[in-house]
Chain A
Amino acid sequence: MKRTIIWLLLVSILMTGCINKHILDDIRIVTAVGMDPADNGMIEISVVVPRYNPDKSTTSETFTQLTSLGRFSKEQLSMSESKPFVTGKIEVISVSQEIAQNGIMPLTDGFIRDPSVGSRVFLFVAENTANELLQGQYSSQDNGMFISDMLAQNVERGPLPNTNIHLFFNQFYDKGSDPFLPLLGLRNNKIKILGLALLKDDKMAGKIGLKDLFAFKTLQEKNTKGDHYLVKLDDGNEVYLNKISSKWKVNMTNLETSPKVEYDVNLNLAIREFSGDKLDQARIKKIKDKIEEQFKQEAEEMIQYFQELKVDPLGIGSLARSRLRSWNKEKWQDQYPNIEVVVNSKVKISETGIAE
């Protein structure tokens, strides 16, 4: 009996060699996928695959394919290739603005159903076509990795709010908020973040530019840090500030009848550059007041714009839902455009650098 068991164990161990393996040199690792509209309702899928050159540099190879469903089909792509495509390392998924405006939900199902696609994948909207964005050569990395690193570092310490495919679906399925995606485009042959695309359900309804990102990130996330802010004082001087941290509290009144939403934002900033000559207490006080005023105006205008578009990327609806037992989506959507939203901010300038 013992011998049988030893045999069985031996066979099991040896048989583990029989599973299908993926040797790196023999597969094409897809790092980016782009989707563009084509004729007759077809979708053009572009995939980026890194090619590791003998001189240790990496270039991107782009393959395109036409599909009817918009599903990225690795099998179909592989048909005209000598090596199979694998999806385990997709870093970014890009859809063109036109597709985003028509609804991106039918196109992304494959990516959440496929267990080999991670939830930290970046989904973004390309200003013109995704193909054009993915074709360029931007650095010594392949484009998938490059765009992913670029977005990641801008989320980490730049103006971009936290975003990935998991958060996108999180907001999409949340009854009280609408999703947003980074909007990228080409400027002087460089890929650049242009702002955010705002979506209503799964259709792109509008966008905000770079100048609104500061207010957006501050209000979208409970605690943020690392961003910059530029104010022009009344006397013509300019101040460039770093955000050390920010947090907010929200006050909601009259949720049943005519809701009023009041954000209290605490901003902790540090002065990095000042175009004037001397920074004394009076000046700093002036700068503080100016920022408070400017931030309030920017934030409120931005929210009004959201209300006109009837999109809720800040998740005000979710905030209301967690406060009101009888909350329902239809009623909230009727109320939303007319809600009074007030943003109060309190600025603390904690540092002025090492010069006076």
Chain B
Amino acid sequence: MKSLSIPKENQIKAWYLFIILHTMQVGVGMAGYPRLVFMEARQDSWIPIIITGLILHLVIACMVFVLNSFEKEDLPGILTKSMGKYVGLVVSSLFVIYFLLLFLSVIANYIEFVQVFIFPQMKSWFIGLLLLTLVWYAVYGGIRVAIGSSFVFFLSSIWMVGLLHKPITQIDSRNYFPMFQVGLDEIYQGVLISSYTFLGFELLWMVYPFINDKKRVGRYSQFAIVFTVAMYLLTTMVAIGYFSPRQLEEKVWPLLTLFKVISFPMFERFDILAVALWILVILPNLILLAWMVSFTCKRVHGWKQKYCLAVMIIFSLLFVSIFDDRELVNKLTDFTGRVGLFLGFGFPFVLLPFAIRQRMKGKKKNAKSS
């Protein structure tokens, strides 16, 4: 496989990583996350979140180390370089399928939101078509359009954090106490549960060659993680304070239910709008994931990216129109989360020895040539 050489006009600044990694991580899982982690770790949910955050910092550091060792390579390039052509091909294909799973679970979950909250009668294929058209448009324009649109969507959705103000005023601090009641086992379970929600940082594998100032990659991706963890910590703690324990367990999407308390004089039921606005949170995920799937596909098999994209979009459309009951969507989400635990969190460490070997080689070369 050839290494990528990206023309200057297609490169992006490293600080975009802060935005795109963060938007990738915050997505459809966020709405249901406070409940899931609460069911494991109760009022001490902040412990598993922080632990997951620390693990993530380690994973990102490892990814950056690996990527830096191979310099201009992305994931398929690293895999073929370190594991050989055939193994590399198989593992890269696994990643394509995994990215596709992530994409499908995001879109299926969002369609479910829309159907539950706003338009129960709207057909899945119809919502799917609307979303996928936008995705197609953004990805078709190439990496810069994909990242640019994510940036715009990030800016147009980040203000929603301010909506938490109203629920915060109604927090009952009794719900946080007594602290430190959680056992090691629950913390472990809480960390596992968090894994699906925090996924999305795999984007770094693919986007790395496009980055202009590679020295700053580590810094900005770590910032993104800090921001994401802070966001999850905030929403989870607000949900725990606002709902009483058993009430929180009953809410499938606590974050969206939180918004139900918000009301403006000219806008009585803001929660309905919030669900619709959630599309701004979802779209960057979909766009970047679609780019990842189609681009990895192109890299691995040498097919044209636009054909990969077309096939993928048509497949997704068929998928969401055929499988649209909640049970299945949940199963898909769980499965993706479990796969992500290995491919997202675990895999960078598998590549670590190869990266070290690569560095040694590089040093020898340097020593010889000097």
B142-179 interface mask toward A, CB cutoff 8 Å, 1 = contact, 0 = none?
Answer: 00000000000000000000000000000011111110
The segment out of A42-50, A115-123, A301-309 that lies at the interface is A115-123
Q: Is B68's CB within 8 Å of the partner chain A? A: no
Beta-carbon contact of A118 and B260 below 8 Å: yes
Chain B's nearest CB lies how many Å from the CB of A162? 8
Beta-carbon contact of B257 and A119 below 8 Å: yes
Chain A's nearest CB lies how many Å from the CB of B302? 20
Q: Is A56's CB within 8 Å of the partner chain B? A: no
Residues in A neighbouring B129, C-beta threshold 8 A: 12, 15
A115-B116, A118-B271 are contacts. A5–B136 as well, Cβ < 8 Å?
Answer: yes
Q: Is A171's CB within 8 Å of the partner chain B? A: yes
Q: Which of A19, A170, A171, A319 has the most CB of B within 10 A?
A: A170
Beta-carbon contact of B178 and A322 below 8 Å: yes
Q: Among A19, A116, A315, which residue has its beta carbon within 8 angstroms of that of B174? A: A315
Residues in B neighbouring A19, C-beta threshold 8 A: 119, 122
Residues in A neighbouring B181, C-beta threshold 8 A: 325
Q: A302 vs B224: C-alpha distance in the bound complex, in angstroms?
A: 53
The bracket for how many chain B residues form the interface is 35 or more
Residues in A neighbouring B370, C-beta threshold 8 A: none
Q: Is A166's CB within 8 Å of the partner chain B? A: yes
Beta-carbon contact of A324 and B260 below 8 Å: no
Residues in B neighbouring A120, C-beta threshold 8 A: 260-261, 263
Q: Is A9's CB within 8 Å of the partner chain B? A: yes
Q: Is B269's CB within 8 Å of the partner chain A? A: yes
Chain A's nearest CB lies how many Å from the CB of B36? 18
Beta-carbon contact of A174 and B244 below 8 Å: yes
Chain A's nearest CB lies how many Å from the CB of B294? 14
- B260 (CB) vs chain A CBs: closest residue: A119
Chain A's nearest CB lies how many Å from the CB of B134? 8
Total contacting residues, chain A, CB less than 8 A: 35
Beta-carbon contact of A20 and B121 below 8 Å: yes
Q: A1 vs B243: C-alpha distance in the bound complex, in angstroms?
A: 50
Q: Among B119, B137, B244, B261, which residue has its beta carbon within 8 angstroms of that of A171? A: B244
Q: Is A175's CB within 8 Å of the partner chain B? A: yes
Q: Which of A16, A20, A118 has the most CB of B within 10 A?
A: A118
Chain A's nearest CB lies how many Å from the CB of B96? 23
Chain B's nearest CB lies how many Å from the CB of A352? 32
Residues in A neighbouring B306, C-beta threshold 8 A: 1
Q: Which of A12, A88, A315, A325 has the most CB of B within 10 A?
A: A12
Q: Is B250's CB within 8 Å of the partner chain A? A: yes
- A325 (CB) vs chain B CBs: closest residue: B178
Q: A217 vs B136: C-alpha distance in the bound complex, in angstroms?
A: 57
Chain A's nearest CB lies how many Å from the CB of B66? 36
Q: Is A89's CB within 8 Å of the partner chain B? A: yes
Residues in A neighbouring B184, C-beta threshold 8 A: none
Residues in A neighbouring B342, C-beta threshold 8 A: none
In the complex, which residues 104-137 of chain B have their Cβ closer than 8 Å to any Cβ of chain A? 116-117, 119, 121-122, 126, 129-130, 133-134, 136-137
Q: A252 vs B245: C-alpha distance in the bound complex, in angstroms?
A: 22
A115-B117, A118-B269 are contacts. A173–B246 as well, Cβ < 8 Å?
Answer: yes
Residues in B neighbouring A5, C-beta threshold 8 A: 133, 136-137, 140
Q: Is B247's CB within 8 Å of the partner chain A? A: yes
A120-B260, A173-B247, A323-B178 are contacts. A89–B268 as well, Cβ < 8 Å?
Answer: yes
- A9 (CB) vs chain B CBs: closest residue: B133
B231-250 interface mask toward A, CB cutoff 8 Å, 1 = contact, 0 = none?
Answer: 00000000000011111001
Q: Which of A115, A120, A174, A322 has the most CB of B within 10 A?
A: A115
Beta-carbon contact of B245 and A175 below 8 Å: yes
In the complex, which residues 337-355 of chain B have their Cβ closer than 8 Å to any Cβ of chain A? none
- B269 (CB) vs chain A CBs: closest residue: A118
Q: Is A8's CB within 8 Å of the partner chain B? A: yes
- A174 (CB) vs chain B CBs: closest residue: B244
Q: Among B140, B261, B263, B272, which residue has its beta carbon within 8 angstroms of that of A166? A: B261
Q: Is A321's CB within 8 Å of the partner chain B? A: yes
B250-268 interface mask toward A, CB cutoff 8 Å, 1 = contact, 0 = none?
Answer: 1000000100110100001
Beta-carbon contact of A9 and B247 below 8 Å: no
Q: A15 vs B122: C-alpha distance in the bound complex, in angstroms?
A: 12
Residues in A neighbouring B245, C-beta threshold 8 A: 173-175
Q: Is A263's CB within 8 Å of the partner chain B? A: no
Q: Can you report 15 residue pairs joining A to B where beta carbons are below 8 Å apart? A: A5-B137, A5-B140, A12-B130, A16-B130, A118-B261, A119-B257, A120-B263, A170-B247, A173-B246, A175-B245, A321-B174, A322-B175, A322-B178, A323-B178, A325-B181
- Give B contacts to A, CB under 8 Å: 116-117, 119, 121-122, 126, 129-130, 133-134, 136-137, 140, 172-178, 181, 243-247, 250, 257, 260-261, 263, 268-269, 271-272, 306
- Give A contacts to B, CB under 8 Å: 1, 5, 8-9, 12, 15-16, 18-20, 88-89, 112, 115-116, 118-120, 166, 169-176, 315, 318-319, 321-325
